[in-house]
Each structure stands twice: as structure tokens, then as C-alpha cells.
């Protein structure tokens, strides 16, 4: 029995976390979910969208599964998603993106793993107005944060038999901040002579990923570029409904999909649970439950390849409950 924190989130979060719990239950892995809530829904009760008990629960259990949480645009509270990563110092945002047979995409041969720096950059949240007609946002890049994310990318490459790490930046324009990130990446790369290293300017990187995806393997990026490039990669493999992720440090792990709370389809039983489900597979692997993770991954691969029971984002018309039932059926066959 594992103790795991569950943050259902809002929008489609409650629907897809329910689906994931049912699918994990079908694998026979026993999880004691400690449910804690964050976001707008808890503001009245706690006076904050991120109650201390959420952070305490993750610190205690060390592992969490998190649904998406809505962030008001413009005014209102700052992103709870970003705050969780910063307050727990979850410095790695790991986002694998791999083409799957049957997924609705014109692109082939993408198999990249994104290491996005998760604690600083433009997401440090240091912004102010300069009078009424100008605004300033400050981008922070430090040697410490750059070094640990680049090292995490190389260590992952080493452990997972990946051949190449590419550092992505805009150091031609942002000579000091991105220049420091690039210089640190070059220094760290020297400790891993067996792994090929190169660097790319972020705009070129976007074009390269669309035209020559097979040339890329592990990517390491500062926060904002990592956020944008991971949505690009999500699009290349068939959409946000398929792209998992994890926020990690050396002690804690919070697993969540790349996508947001999808308010346009929330509560309609239309959301695709696969992205969060594949995040849950990363969690099961992290817990050492490799057989259960493989059984789910194979079930998802079979569903995509068959193309019969798919949610709307994948070109089908199945509901969240229908695809969940089909996954459970296939998981049971695989075990
Ligand atoms: P989004 O990812 O929620 O949605 C973008 C589009 O993709 C929408 O059309 C949506 O319906 C679709 N989509 C996303 N996930 C899907 C799924 N699982 N199944 C089917 N379709 C899916 O992005 P957005 O609309 O820009 O953001 C909505 C809210 O989510 C915002 O408040 C944003 O701040 C927040 N957000 C949260 C996280 C997080 O919790 N980590 C991440 C990104 C955005």
C-alpha cells in the first residue's frame, strides 16, 4: 500500500483523476490516496488558493498525482501550479513526447524528453508597472538552477541510454541570462563525454522539431522555452490529451499532465484521461510498479492503434467514462 497525495484540481481535473484512480485500481496496485484541494474552490475556506496542508501532504507522502488547476488571466491569484513547483523546489519538469501509432498527427518519429527548468526564469513572478503605460518582468537565470537542471538531463540520458542532449536558449539576444544558461550547459556537458551535446537557439529549435524530429533526443531548456516547446511537442504527437509530465527534485515527485483545466469541455464527460494516465504510469514506475505501468501503457497503445474508442480530441466520440472502461478492460487482459 502506497500513500500518495491526490490533488484533483478543477475544470476537467476531477473527471480525469477519477478515471485514473479506477484504472490503477484495476492493476491491483494498492494506493491510499490522501486527497487535498487547491485552486479557486478553496479560496473561501482557506483564504488562499494553495493551503499549507497541500504542501505538507506532498512533503509527507513524497509522491503526488495532480490534476490541472485554473489560473485567472491578468488579475487574480498567481498560478497555483507554478507556486507548488516553486515552494517545493521541484526543479525538474520532465515531459516526454513520443509519437504513438494511431495518434492523430501528420508528424512521425518524435521521441524527445524535455527537461524544463521549473523554478526561475520569467516565471519568478517579479513584475511591476512602470507608471501606467509600461510594465517590466524580470527574468532570473542562476548558475545553481541552470546547473542542476542540465545535470538532471545528462543523468537521465545516461540512465536511459539516450544519445544526445540539446541545450535550448536565446543567447544571441539575451547574452547575459541565456548566455549564462548556455555556458553552464557547456561546462556540465564536459562531465558526460559519452553523450553527444549540442545547443540550439529556441526559434530554430521549434522549426527543427517540426522538420527533423528524429535528430533530437533529450532537450534542456529554461522555464518559458520549456513550457512553449513542450506544447509544441504535444501538438506534434497528437495533442495535449496525450502528453504526460512530472515535477521532480531529489526527494519529491508530483506527476501531472502538460495540459490545463480545459474549461471549454469541463464537466461534459469529454476529457481525454490519457495524458494524466501516462503521468500516473511515470508515477507507478517511480514507485517500482513497472508491471502495472507497462500493462496500462500497452492498453493505451492498443486503444490508439485500434482507433475505435477515442475521445473527441483524438477524432473519436467516446466519453471519458467509455474510454476509461475500455482501458480497464485491456489492462485486465494484459495482467
Ligand atoms: P488547456 O490545456 O486547458 O486547453 C487547451 C485546449 O486543449 C482546449 O481546447 C482543451 O479543451 C484541450 N484539452 C486540454 N486537455 C485536454 C484533455 N485532457 N482532453 C481533451 N482536450 C483537452 O489550456 P488553456 O485553455 O490555455 O488553459 C486553461 C486553464 O488551465 C488556464 O487557467 C491555465 O492557466 C491552466 N493551466 C494549468 C496547467 C496545470 O495545471 N499544470 C497547465 C496549463 C494551463
Span 191-204, pLDDT tens digits:
999 999 999 999 99
What's the confidence (pLDDT) of residue 206?
Answer: 98
Taking the centre of ligand 1 as the mean of its atom positions, its distance from the CA of residue 266, in whole angstroms, is 10
**CB of 90 closer than 6 angstroms to any ligand 1 atom:** no
**CB of 69 closer than 6 angstroms to any ligand 1 atom:** yes
The CA distance from 213 to 207, in Å, is 9
| Across 96-105, average pLDDT | 91
**CB of 10 closer than 6 angstroms to any ligand 1 atom:** no
**Residues 26-63 pLDDT 10s:** 999 999 999 999 998 998 899 999 999 999 999 999 99
The CA distance from 118 to 314, in Å, is 29
Banded model confidence at residue 73, pLDDT cuts 50, 70, 90: confident
Among 118, 240, 316, the mutation site with the greatest number of ligand 1 atoms within 8 A of its Cβ is: 240
The CA distance from 158 to 131, in Å, is 50
**CB of 80 closer than 6 angstroms to any ligand 1 atom:** no
Question: What is the reported pTM?
Answer: 0.94
Is 222 in contact with 181 (CB distance < 8 Å)?
Answer: yes
**CB of 253 closer than 6 angstroms to any ligand 1 atom:** no
- Where in the sequence numbering do the catalytic residues fall? 123, 170, 203, 227
**Residues 234-293 pLDDT 10s:** 999 998 999 999 999 999 999 999 999 999 999 999 999 999 999 999 999 999 999 999
The angle at the Cα of 310, spanning 97 to 286, to the nearest 5 degrees, equals: 40
Among 70, 242, 260, the mutation site with the greatest number of ligand 1 atoms within 8 A of its Cβ is: 260
Whether ipTM exceeds 0.90: yes
Among 245, 257, 261, the mutation site with the greatest number of ligand 1 atoms within 8 A of its Cβ is: 261
Widest CA span of the chain, in angstroms?
Answer: 64
- Which three cell numbers mark 181? 544558461
Is 12 in contact with 264 (CB distance < 8 Å)?
Answer: no
Amino acid at each position: 500500500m502506497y500513500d500518495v497525495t491526490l490533488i484533483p484540481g478543477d475544470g476537467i481535473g476531477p473527471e480525469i483523476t477519477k478515471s485514473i484512480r479506477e484504472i490503477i485500481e484495476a492493476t491491483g496496485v494498492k494506493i491510499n490516496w490522501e486527497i487535498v484541494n487547491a485552486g479557486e474552490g478553496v479560496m473561501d475556506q482557506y483564504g488562499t488558493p494553495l493551503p499549507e496542508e497541500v504542501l505538507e501532504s506532498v512533503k509527507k507522502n513524497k509522491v503526488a498525482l495532480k490534476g490541472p488547476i485554473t489560473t485567472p488571466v491578468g488579475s487574480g491569484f498567481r498560478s497555483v501550479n507554478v507556486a507548488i513547483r516553486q515552494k517545493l523546489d521541484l526543479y525538474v519538469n520532465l515531459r516526454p513526447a513520443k509519437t504513438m501509432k494511431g495518434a492523430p498527427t501528420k508528424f512521425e518519429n518524435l521521441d524527445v524528453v524535455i527537461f524544463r527548468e521549473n523554478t526561475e526564469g520569467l516565471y519568478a513572478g517579479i513584475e511591476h508597472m512602470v507608471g501606467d503605460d509600461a510594465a517590466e518582468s524580470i527574468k532570473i537565470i542562476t548558475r545553481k538552477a541552470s546547473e542542476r537542471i542540465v545535470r538532471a538531463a545528462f543523468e537521465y540520458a545516461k540512465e536511459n541510454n539516450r544519445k544526445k542532449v540539446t541545450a535550448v536558449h536565446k543567447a544571441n539576444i539575451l547574452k547575459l541570462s541565456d548566455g549564462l544558461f548556455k555556458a553552464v550547459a557547456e561546462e556540465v556537458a564536459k562531465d558526460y563525454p559519452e553523450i553527444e551535446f549540442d545547443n540550439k537557439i529556441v526559434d530554430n529549435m521549434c522549426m527543427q522539431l517540426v522538420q527533423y524530429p528524429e535528430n533530437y533526443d533529450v532537450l534542456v531548456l529554461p522555464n518559458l522555452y520549456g513550457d512553449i516547446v513542450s506544447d509544441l511537442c504535444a501538438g506534434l504527437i497528437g495533442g495535449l490529451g496525450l502528453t504526460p509530465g512530472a515535477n521532480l527534485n531529489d526527494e519529491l515527485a508530483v506527476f501531472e499532465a502538460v495540459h490545463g483545466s480545459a474549461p471549454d469541455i469541463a464537466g461534459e464527460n469529454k476529457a481525454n484521461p490519457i495524458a494524466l494516465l501516462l503521468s500516473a504510469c511515470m508515477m507507478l514506475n517511480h514507485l517500482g510498479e513497472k508491471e502495472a505501468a507497462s500493462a496500462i501503457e500497452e492498453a493505451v497503445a492498443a486503444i490508439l492503434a485500434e482507433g475505435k474508442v477515442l475521445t473527441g480530441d483524438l477524432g473519436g466520440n467516446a466519453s471519458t467514462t467509455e474510454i476509461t472502461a475500455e482501458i480497464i478492460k485491456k489492462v485486465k487482459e494484459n495482467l
